Every structure is written in C-alpha cells, then in structure tokens.
Chains A and B, each alone.
Chain A
Amino acid sequence: MTKNALIVDDSHTMRNMVSITLKDAEFEVMAAEDGVDALDVVAENDFDIIITDINMPNMDGIELIKKLRLNGKFKYTPILVLTTEGGDDKKKEGKNAGATGWIVKPFNPQTLMSAVNKVCA
C-alpha cells in the first residue's frame, strides 16, 4: 500500500533530494517550506510519516513538532528530524517536543530510508 510522506524544509534542494529518495521507495510525497506551510498542508492531508528540518523561517521544526503532537490526527505519526544540528541539547529538545528520530545532514539516502522504514513499520 502506498504511504504518504511530508517533507518540511526551507531549502528547495533539500526538499527535492528527500522527495526523490522517498519516491524511489514508492512513497507519495508532499512538501512544505516551513512550519506554517506544513500546518496548512496537514490540515488537508493525512501522512504516514513527516520529515522536518529544524532551522526554518516563520515556524521552526521544534515548534512544528509540538503543534503536530497536539493535533489528534498526528499524535502518533512518526516524525523524523533532518537537520544540521547535532548537539545533544537540541536533540533533547526535539525528543521532548515529540520527535521520533534525529538524522544529521548531510544524509545518505540509504540511511534515511532505513530510518524511515524502521519508524513506519
């Protein structure tokens, strides 16, 4: 069964790269450029997994994760953080906000898919 994924990142290149990786694994992919845009998208669509950056304008990834977890529809949806931030403090903040996992950029497509498959299983 086709799964739906949402990628949230202010970088057009990053959105494309993750989309290509997920589409190769037969995901249907939608994209948003920041937290505010993402909330608009999730209001109209369901997703099996959400992958988000942290440092974005208008609304950052941490804030987005918190809001998604308050939304009954996405309370248990796997949310992976894909970011350049690698420090323990930031990871802890993400975990407390409700992130399912943390991937540090630059990412290897195989590594990303391995993580996606694990959390979507």
Chain B
Amino acid sequence: MSEAYNILETNKNSAPKNRESLKNIVKKWLSVAESQVCALEVLSSQLPKLNELLEDNMIDLSTSFNILAEQARNQSGNVSAVSQSAKIFIVNGYPTTFRELLVIFHKLIDDAKENKHSEKNDKMFNDILAAVCQQEQSLSEKLKKAECSSDDMITAVSSAVVGMQFQDRVSQNLVIATNVSREIIYYLKDAIGITIENLEDRDTFLTENGGVELDKDFAMKMIQHLTLGELQQKFIDHLIHHKYITDPSQIGFNSLEKGKLQKEHTDEVELF
C-alpha cells in the first residue's frame, strides 16, 4: 500500500489519465482495507464482552488465591501440630518430652545390665512402648491431614494459573490490529485527496463520491476466517449497515452456506 501511495505522490503532477488510474488503484486498496476494518470492528465490538469475561475471571482468580491462602494457613497449622506431637509423649498419663524419655530408657538399660529387675521397670517399659505406638499413630494422622492440605493447595494453584493464560494477549492484539487498519484507511484517503475527520464520514464518501465497490472475494475470505457463526453474521450486518451490500447473497453468503462455514471448534482435545 505504501508503494501505491509513493507512486501517487511521485505522479501528482502527471497527466490526468495516469492520475485516474492511480486513483483507481488506491480505491481498490481502500475497498480491501474497508473490509478489513469491518472485520476488525466486529471483533473489537467483542472487546467489552471480553473485558467483562476478564473481570469475572479476575474475580475467580482472586477467590482461588484466597482459598490458596487459607490452605496455606491450614497447612502451617498442620505442620506446627506435627512438630508439637513429635516432641511430646504421654507416658503413664503424663506428658513427657523426648529428652526425658531418653533418660528413662537409659535408666532402664542400666538396671537391666546390673540385673536389677523390678515390676516397676517392666511397667515403665510397657508404658513407654504404648506411648511410642500412640505417638506414631498420632503423627500418621497429622501427616495425612497435612498431605491432604498440600493436595488442596496444588489444586487451588492450578485453578488460578489456568485462568491466567492468554486473555490480555488476545485483547491487546485485537486493539493493535484495529488501530493499524484504521491508520491504513486514513492514509489511503489522504492519498486520493480526501480529508476525512472521522470514520463516520466514510459512508458519505462512499455513497456520494462515486462509491468504492466492495471487494467481494476479499469479503468472502474474511467471512471464512471468522469461524464463529455469530461473528460472520455481525460482519454481514456491518457491511449492510455501511451500505457496501444490501443482501448477503451479493458476496455469495447465504444461510445454506452458513452451516458449512461455521467451523466452530468444540472439542478441547483431539487425538489423530
């Protein structure tokens, strides 16, 4: 397109016949660009909806992160409980630390070495065994609970991350693409000596200045790229609204073809 503009600029003062040919070339480009803008404006009209979806998504993400924080707090509590349980043994009804337990064990061993057998020592030994078994069970239960909390945390993280994948990228690309095409339109109209303050005036230009015929093949290709039926219809409505066409069949689009053109993807995974 910039080449066409350069040619036009170079030949500004050339013979009228040449200028007319160049003007037609630029008009042709304009027609193509208009189709592009139509398609992009249709997509851009989806931006408010996209923003709404983004906001909903951010709320879901925020909820997921709150759940994650709650899970992390629970997990911290579980770890503290496990840690405390590991330190305290209940021997003969009394809480005993691990160090105290070791002292008792050493005494029992020393008595055994010196053949100092007593019923008291037997009872103490049995009490200690019972305490260790109880401790093991308590620890197992608490560790299992901590493990479940870890699984919950992983699920919450996954949920949050899945929701953050690509919305911003899509939104930005749409805006950039639309702005680029608008710029092309202004550029081309300037090249053929028409000054348009805003795009609302383009209908006047098209209908009262000899008209720019819609490039039907290009319009049809644009429809084929808009794989969602809803967007195809919006594109058609847009062309009719701006008086490029009066009926969809003018660009070879009709309701019978609509089903064929609708190649809406529904399956998330497809193995070939």
Stretch touching chain B among A30-38, A66-74, A87-95: A87-95
* Distance between A47 CB and nearest chain B CB, rounded to angstroms: 18
CA distance A31 to B142 in the complex (A): 38
Q: How far is the CB of A109 from chain B (nearest CB, A)?
A: 5
Check A105 against B165 for contact (C-beta < 8 Å): yes
Inter-chain contacts of B268 with A (CB < 8 A): 103-104, 107-108, 111
Rounded to whole angstroms, the CA-CA distance of A89 and B227 in the bound complex is: 10
B270 and A14 form a contact (CB under 8 A)? no
By the criterion of a CB under 8 Å from any partner CB, how many residues of chain A are at the interface? 27
The verdict on B263 contacting chain A, using a C-beta distance below 8 Å, is yes
Q: Which of A86, A99, A107 is most buried by chain B, counting CB atoms within 10 A of its CB? A: A86
- B158 → A minimal CB distance (Å): 5
Contact B269 A101 (CB under 8 A): yes
Q: How far does the Cβ of B159 sit from chain A's closest Cβ, in whole Å?
A: 10
A87-B227, A87-B263, A88-B263 given; A102·B269 CB < 8 A: yes
Contact A109 B162 (CB under 8 A): yes
State whether the Cβ of B94 lies closer than 8 Å to any Cβ in chain A. Answer: no
Interface size class of B (residues with CB under 8 A): 10 to 19
A59 within 8 A of B: no
Q: Is the CB of B162 within 8 A of A107?
A: yes
| Mask of B31-59 contacts with A, CB within 8 angstroms, 1/0 | 00000000000000000000000000000
**Is there contact, CB below 8 Å, between A100 and B165?**
no
Asked if A17 is at the interface of the complex by the 8 Å CB criterion, the answer is yes
Of B158, B165, B269, B271, the residue contacting A14 (CB under 8 A) is B165
Q: How far is the CA of A105 from the CA of B165 in the complex (A)?
A: 8
- Cβ of A119 < 8 Å from any Cβ of B? yes
Contacts A14-B165, A106-B166 hold; do A111 and B269 have CB atoms under 8 A apart? yes
Tell whether A109 pairs with B158 under 8 Å between CB atoms, given A14-B165, A86-B265, A87-B263: yes
Centre residue among A24, A88, A102, A119 by max chain B CB count within 10 A: A102
Contacts of B69 in A (CB 8 A): none
Q: A87-B265, A88-B263 in contact; A108/B271 too (CB < 8 A)?
A: no
Query: Which 5 A/B pairs are nearest by Cβ-Cβ distance?
Result: A86-B265, A101-B271, A106-B165, A88-B263, A102-B270
List, sorted by A's number, 12 A–B pairs whose CB atoms are closer than 8 Å: A17-B161, A86-B227, A86-B265, A100-B272, A102-B271, A104-B265, A106-B162, A106-B166, A108-B162, A109-B162, A111-B268, A115-B271
